[in-house]
Amino acid sequence: MKRFLTVLVVLCVATALFAGGRQEAEPQEGEQEVRTLRVAAPPWIYKKFDLENYAKEFDAAHPEVKLELIRADKWGGPTYITEWKQGTTPFDVFVGGSGSMLAPLIAGGWTEPMDSMFTGDMAKDEFVGGFLSAGHYKKPEGGGTYYPCIPFVGEVSIIGVNTSIMKDAGLWAGGGPKPIPGWEPEEFRNWFGALNDASDLGAHVQIWDREFMQYNYCGPIKAMTGTFMEEDGKGFDVTSDAAKRWLTYLQEMHDEGVATYTTTDDQGYQKWKTNATGSFYAAQGHIMELVSVTENESDIAYLGWPDADKNGSIIWTHSVWIPKVAKNKDLAKAFIREVVFSKEMQQWSFNNYGKLPVMKDYYGEGITWFQDQMPTILSVADASSPIPLFTDLQEYLDILFKYLPEAAFGRMSVDKALQNIQDESEGLDFSDLRAQ
């Protein structure tokens, strides 16, 4: 009897473990069929877009839809692909994902084309040009281009300056910061030298982790020349005079104590938020974090590198996308249009966290801060472009990360660093997933 009961218990436990799945209740006769829409997003999207609150409005407007919000604590590219290969998906729409995160999914053709979304308020010319270009890709199977995702939030790499320090340094005129006059050595050094004299913790901060390294390197070169790419398109510019000049400036600024380069983004933000550093080259939204310390938006102003208003800088975006195997694509698209691209949600995010809306119309009425800085930010963003998504981008970034910081930190000569990058990246596949 005891043995029989033991066997019974083991069988019950095994059945519970392996049976799995819960059955959704079948709709009763006469009841409207309720469809479930599963929306996934990383925690920071929930926080910085108040997604849960704005999603409630969609819920209320669509009683035939049961909305399920999912927190994707970790990006699970391989996990998602495994389910997609079986024809199932853990979500119907995903709000978030930068270019490099999405690249493998797009290369494998796992996301739903979104070209049909660009109508009405979401027509292409309603977007800030640079941001929309980040969602434009070549078709994996060839024969044209398409939009496998839609950027919904943008960031631009730009210089933030501490206005008090700028005034102390004599770099303030006509109610705004005096721009860096140009790229010639003397005018460049003089500007940063004056700022350094007025800054307790140095004139300039940059974050040199693996992510920001590429923006720090490419953004100023693009401002200088209009492009950050090699002429043959095989990688970033490591051979031109502009490349050597910029890396030399970075090294000199570090060696002379004018600039601090941190190895983590957290250290960079901490440095900037001491309110004792003259300038910070980083994502526009991160620069705004100083206001959380000083509680005064006029403590920050924005500048581009010389000629960035004409030639642009680097932008990057996060996008919203639908897995190709999702069943409720029509609901997902309705959610994207009504919630993700709603003026209210996008302006709320900017007014609270500085996340740049991607629609031109959202920069006017409704924006509650930094309105005087918007022309500078938008002029740089509109001329900017995203980092290409090379097939071997991750390997290329590893090579860049091996040498560029070494040169910037003064541990390797500029020529040697650039030559090493050239040598070690030969043979990589620089086919760009992005459309031009």
Partner 1 sequence: MKQLTKNSLRDRLNLAFFLFPTMLFVIIFIAFPVIFSGYLSLTEFNYASDPAPQFIGLKGYIDMVKSDIFFHTALYNQMRFAVAYFLIAFAVSLVLAIFVNELQRGVQVFQVIFYMPMIVPMSLVGITFAWILSPDLGIFNHMLRLLGLGHITHDWYGEPSTALNSLVLARTWKMIGFTLIIFLAGLQGISKSLKESARVDGANFFQEIVFIVLPNLKPYMLIGGIWILINSLKVFVLPQVITQGGPGSATLTLYLYSWKLAFERLEMGEASQVAYLTAFIILFFTWILNLIFKPETAQKG
Using rule CB under 8 A, residue 275 touches partner 1: no
Q: Which amino acid is at 213?
A: M
Say whether 87 sits in a helix, a strand or coil. Answer: coil
Q: Which is nearer to partner 1, 58 or 281 (CB)?
A: 281
Beta strand pairing call for 35-41 and 93-95 = parallel
Residue environment code for 375-396, b if the CB has 16+ CB neighbours within 10 A, otherwise e: ebbbebbbbbbbbbbbebbeeb
Q: In the complex, what is the shortest distance from the CB of residue 292 to partner 1, in angstroms, rounded to a whole number?
A: 18
Nearest to 37 by CA among 333, 281, 387, 400: 333
Q: Which value, to the nearest 10 degrees, does the dihedral of the CA atoms of residues 369, 375, 378, 380 take?
A: -130
Say whether 296 sits in a helix, a strand or coil. Answer: coil
Nearest to 359 by CA among 65, 153, 105: 153
The Cα–Cα gap between 209 and 269 comes to 13
What is the per-residue binding string for partner 1 in 61-100, x denoting contact by CB under 8 A? ----------------xx--x-------------------
Q: Which is nearer to partner 1, 281 or 363 (CB)?
A: 281
Which of 50, 62, 104, 193: binder of partner 1 (CB under 8 A)?
Answer: 104
Q: In the complex, what is the shortest distance from the CB of residue 160 to partner 1, in angstroms, rounded to a whole number?
A: 19
Which of 210, 241, 292, 298: binder of partner 1 (CB under 8 A)?
Answer: 210
Using rule CB under 8 A, residue 348 touches partner 1: no
Read off the tokens for 7: 């066997």
Q: Which is nearer to partner 1, 383 or 399 (CB)?
A: 399
Using rule CB under 8 A, residue 363 touches partner 1: no
Which of 164, 239, 263, 342: binder of partner 1 (CB under 8 A)?
Answer: 263
Of 104-112, 147-155, 187-195, 321-329, which segment contacts partner 1 by CB under 8 A?
104-112
Of 154-162, 182-190, 214-222, 403-411, which segment contacts partner 1 by CB under 8 A?
403-411
Q: How far is CA 232 from the centre of its chain?
A: 26
Read off the tokens for 224: 């200088």
**CA of 45: how far to CAs of 21, 70, 94, in Å?**
29, 11, 11
Question: Cβ(300)–Cβ(287) under 8 Å?
Answer: yes
Question: Cβ(162)–Cβ(321) under 8 Å?
Answer: no
8-state DSSP, 211:
H
Using rule CB under 8 A, residue 398 touches partner 1: yes
Q: In the complex, what is the shortest distance from the CB of residue 262 to partner 1, in angstroms, rounded to a whole number?
A: 7
What is the per-residue binding string for partner 1 in 6-45, x denoting contact by CB under 8 A? -x--x---x-------------------------------
What is the per-residue binding string for partner 1 in 243-262, x denoting contact by CB under 8 A? -------------------x
Say whether 376 sits in a helix, a strand or coil. Answer: helix
Using rule CB under 8 A, residue 395 touches partner 1: yes
Q: In the complex, what is the shortest distance from the CB of residue 210 to partner 1, in angstroms, rounded to a whole number?
A: 6
Q: In the complex, what is the shortest distance from the CB of residue 119 to partner 1, in angstroms, rounded to a whole number?
A: 30
Question: Cβ(134)–Cβ(386) under 8 Å?
Answer: yes
Which of 105, 195, 320, 326: binder of partner 1 (CB under 8 A)?
Answer: 105
Question: Cβ(204)–Cβ(280) under 8 Å?
Answer: yes
Where does this chain bind partner 1 (CB under 8 A)? 7, 10, 14, 77-78, 81, 104-105, 107-110, 140, 209-210, 262-264, 267, 270-271, 394-395, 398-399, 401-403, 405-406, 409, 411, 424
